[in-house]
A and B are shown apart, each in its own frame.
Chain A
Amino acid sequence: MTREIALDIPSEFRHIYLLDLVLSYIAKEMDFDEETKEQVNLAVIEAGTNAIKHGNQGDPTKAVHFRFDLSDGQLAISIKDCGEGFKPDEVNDPLSPENFMKPCGRGIFLMKALMDEVEFDVSGNCGTEVKMVKFKMSNGNERI
């Protein structure tokens, strides 16, 4: 059975703390171990921060929409903004020598490293939708 939790927040950074609270609840519902919980938490915070900053340009009248689909074997997450969209292929590699010392540009890289699946949908009428999945693993480190 899949359960859906939805959350809309205005595009202001202080609301990231609300997201953090919801993610703690979801991690408990999913029975994630501590490491997985923090990986999901950071990946969603990075996606939410990007949606506020780059998607909605910090406009508090625009919302960022989060949807969490909880099922036995995985947590699927959607983060959607109302911005101009972007080209995921043009995002710089933060590990390359020219970018390594830059203070920004690590959010998407971290999301990809911390989650099992990450994809960007810019085909909608407006904005970007980030879809991410974290699989639940057994003690033997196999997918449930």
Chain B
Amino acid sequence: MKFEVENKDDGVILHLEGKIIGDSAAQLKQILEEQIDSDVKWIILDLADVPLMDSSAIGTMIMAFLKLKEKNGKLVILYAQKNIQEVLSITKLNTLFEIFDNMQNALQSVKSI
């Protein structure tokens, strides 16, 4: 998995690329924890270039979501591909995460906190 961190005021847009399976969930956990520990208020997870994500990676997103919520912050998802949307729907996690299909709406949501 490749990633790029785009810093924006009090938050970050995290652009991820590649399948997040196997040991990539641990890599994602490390990246998210580093951002949360650096006191960002919000994270937008850009999944446009992520074709597949396993349940360990989804668990990592839940962990980051809860940690940010504890600090009155927010994590949202941007551009989830069809397969990932299906998994989030099956697990009902589409009721937990806000999922956006355009950047402007995602930014509006995280900046409203």
Contact = CB atoms under 8 A, between A and B. Distances in A.
A15 B59 contact: no
How many residues of B sit at the interface, in one of the four size bands?
20 to 34
B108 interface: no
B60 A100 contact: no
B31 interface: no
A99 to B, nearest CB: 11
Contacts of B51: 38
A41 interface: yes
A100 B92 contact: yes
Nearest to B62: A103
A110 B52 contact: no
Nearest to B22: A16
Interface residues of A, number: 27
Contact of B23 (A14, A45, A94, A104): A14
A1 interface: no
A39 B2 CA distance: 23
Interface in A70-103: 94-95, 100-103
Interface of A: 12-17, 20, 35, 38, 41-42, 45-46, 49, 94-95, 100-104, 106-107, 109-110, 113-114
10 contacts: A14-B22, A17-B21, A38-B52, A42-B54, A46-B54, A100-B96, A101-B62, A104-B59, A106-B58, A110-B90
Interface of B: 19, 21-23, 26, 51-52, 54-56, 58-60, 62-63, 66, 82-83, 87, 90-92, 96
